[in-house]
Chains A and B, each alone.
Chain A
Amino acid sequence: MPFIGFVGLVLVFSILTKGRILNPRNISLMLSQVYVLMIASLGVFMIMTVGGLDFSQGSILGLTSIVFAWVSPHGIVLGIVAAMLAGALMGAFNGFFHVKFKIASFIVTICTMYLFRGLCEYLTTHGPISASLKVLSLDETWLKILLTTIVITIGFLVIHFTRLGYDLRAIGAGEIAARFSGSRPELTTFLVYTFAGMITGFASFINVIRVGSITGTAGSQLETQILIALVLGGMPIGGGAKARFSNIIFGSLTYSVLERSLPMVFPVSATQQLVKGIIFLIVVALTIDRKSLRVIK
């Protein structure tokens, strides 16, 4: 169903923009926003499958981008590793408070959203942090596509061919029963938040090579973009068995198409947003699987 939504959207906007969105330059621009979104959505997909939420992803992206920009002069790969470690630490922080103290995930991650964002702003008080020229020279489309494909493929393989994927769905569908069947909900949930942070840390690499310098507001709103993207892709908000990997791919693509096409059809930014909101509501109303949601909250 989300696939049809995606194709339908592309068709509609192709017509409205008289085919402009299909020209290579526009496609490339559209894709430029998809990489970070899709990679970060992979992590949040796992979190949402177990029934949680994460509002701190944008702040994590900002902070890990700073880490990368700092470390990368000593080596690009080292920088990536450092960013991933930093992201993992932040994710683990989220996971710890959520699992150990049993605080609702949306509350914990709203708090850490502020926490990490504050650090971001503090570290950029004296101005944006720039990446080295060597890093900027890496801003090649083929590289970004390659990296994104690798990450997504790894994610796909792990979720479908290891027990993690099965555990995630079982824990999302019925945590207590899953525990009595041998799953380890606390450990798995903790790990999933850590992974999500780590994955976003990797995405920061792509983010930095694209924007070049990091300001205090780097990555802001990413968490809401991820939420919208996944939902557009058909992801059930409570997770569980109906979560599908395709939610990540079609969701991110659909979101990016929207983002790129709207300005071409509606030049006024307020109108763009209005249309975006209406399309979002329509798509969700049509694609949401109401049968598996026993209670709609």
Chain B
Amino acid sequence: MNETISRFKRSKYFGYALLFGLALFFWAFFKILSPHNFGTSKLMANYLQTSIQYAVGGCGFYFIVVMGLFDMSIGANIVLSSLVGVLLSRQFGYYGLIFGCLLCGTLIGSFNGFLYTRLRIPSMIVTVGLMLVLESVAAYVVKLDPAGFPGKLTDPNILAFNHAPWNYIVAVSAFLLMAFILRFTKLGTYFNAIGSNEFVAKAMGINVEKYKFIGFVLLHFFVGIMALLTVSYGKGMLAVTGMESMGRNFKPLMGTFFGVAFKKYGMPVSAIVIGEFIITLIFNGLVALNVPTTINDFVTGAVLLIIVTLTNRGARGSVVK
């Protein structure tokens, strides 16, 4: 009996149970407190649509976090890819928008990956520098926009990704792509191997540099997809400087944490998607409770801390930095 229980506890059913349980808990919590402003089926659809954009970013982030790498320039990518998409959409409509976002994302990923592998600087640091550069480039791109409202998508015919079904189609495609990569290619195994012990992986003949490069390209490709959703939802994008784009790093990252925490149950993609949904639930729940928006950040931090404490704790005796 004990054996079955402990095997269940390690299986993916337990993982799903935990996640759904959490989602249910928070939904019920806020629903009871604010029955009319929260959690109706229409609102739930809204929550879902909001959360899937972050989940797409969270999926991309997962590839490199699993290898022990980090990237501070994700937010800057979102801004830049969005603006490039907008710019190209002026001339080429949807093709421009989609291509712009995805291509820009891929290029940024290649650039990041190239600098990281060539300069051999720790990823956290090199991406801080890249963030500064990307933000500046975004500011230049806006200046190139000939439209009356630079950076804005005012034409209603370009806003298909702003709502169902196209936003769902894009997001689900991204999730399926990630699941496919993890399950049916060597990439998942190799990323895990590099994250586990880079030396041994290298000795086994794995070209560590190559796979880290691929990791960055994948990350920023997915962020490009996220940019497509973000710019469509927001009907445009604003260029920022002064490292303000960093604020956009963290919502996707939260989903990634869920993914890493639930990696041992073998279901990272689902964990990221459901995790982002839970986070969106919490935020909207607070808004429904008329909690002042200034306290938003406080709650984000508190909730995330609680979730991480419950899921990501280190083993006793291990070294955690």
Task: Please indicate which of the listed interface residues A51, A124, A238, A285 has the most CB atoms of chain B within 10 Å of its own CB.
Answer: A285
- Segment at the A interface, from B11-19, B48-56, B119-127, B226-234: B119-127
Q: Contact partner of B298 among A52, A101, A118, A285, CB < 8 A?
A: A118
- The answer for the CA separation of A278 and B69 in the assembled complex, in Å, is 21
Q: How far is the CB of A233 from chain B (nearest CB, A)?
A: 12
What 1/0 mask marks residues of chain B from 235 to 262 whose CB sits below 8 Å from any chain A CB?
0000001110010001001000100000
- Segment at the A interface, from B91-99, B172-180, B310-318: B310-318
Q: How far is the CB of A268 from chain B (nearest CB, A)?
A: 8
Contact residues in A for B124 (Cβ distance below 8 Å) = 53, 237, 297
- Asked whether A111 lies within 8 Å of B132 as measured between CB atoms, the reply is no
Q: How far is the CB of A157 from chain B (nearest CB, A)?
A: 27
- Asked whether B321 lies within 8 Å of A228 as measured between CB atoms, the reply is no
Q: Contact partner of B136 among A97, A105, A277, CB < 8 A?
A: A277
- Asked whether B257 lies within 8 Å of A107 as measured between CB atoms, the reply is yes
- Asked whether A276 lies within 8 Å of B69 as measured between CB atoms, the reply is no
Interface membership of A153, Cβ < 8 A: no
Interface membership of B135, Cβ < 8 A: yes
- Segment at the B interface, from A65-73, A129-137, A190-198, A288-296: A288-296
- Asked whether B243 lies within 8 Å of A224 as measured between CB atoms, the reply is yes
- Asked whether B120 lies within 8 Å of A284 as measured between CB atoms, the reply is no
Interface membership of A121, Cβ < 8 A: yes
A224-B294 CB under 8 A given contacts A102-B318, A175-B319: no
Q: How far is the CB of B155 from chain A (nearest CB, A)?
A: 27
Q: How far is the CB of A46 from chain B (nearest CB, A)?
A: 14
Q: How far is the CB of A118 from chain B (nearest CB, A)?
A: 3
Contact residues in A for B126 (Cβ distance below 8 Å) = 281, 284
Contact residues in B for A224 (Cβ distance below 8 Å) = 72, 128, 243, 246
- Asked whether B136 lies within 8 Å of A107 as measured between CB atoms, the reply is no
- Asked whether B131 lies within 8 Å of A277 as measured between CB atoms, the reply is yes
Task: Please indicate which of the listed interface residues B128, B129, B298 has the most CB atoms of chain A within 10 Å of its own CB.
Answer: B129
What 1/0 mask marks residues of chain A from 33 to 56 whose CB sits below 8 Å from any chain B CB?
000000000000000001111000
Interface membership of B40, Cβ < 8 A: no
Contact residues in A for B69 (Cβ distance below 8 Å) = 297
Q: Contact partner of A295 among B132, B199, B242, CB < 8 A?
A: B199
Binding site for A on B (CB under 8 A): 67-70, 72, 115, 119-126, 128-133, 135-137, 139-140, 198-199, 241-243, 246, 250, 253, 257, 292, 294-302, 304-305, 308-309, 312-316, 318-321
Given contacts A281-B130, A288-B120, 11 further A-B contacts (CB under 8 A): A52-B321, A98-B320, A102-B315, A104-B314, A117-B297, A121-B297, A122-B298, A238-B122, A269-B241, A274-B137, A277-B136
Nearest 10 A-B pairs (CB), nearest first?
A118-B298, A102-B314, A277-B132, A114-B301, A115-B301, A118-B297, A270-B139, A274-B136, A111-B305, A277-B133
A–B Cβ pairs within 8 angstroms, 24 of them: A98-B320, A101-B309, A102-B313, A102-B318, A104-B320, A111-B301, A111-B304, A111-B305, A115-B302, A117-B301, A121-B295, A175-B319, A221-B243, A224-B128, A228-B128, A238-B122, A270-B140, A273-B132, A273-B241, A277-B130, A277-B132, A281-B121, A297-B70, A297-B122
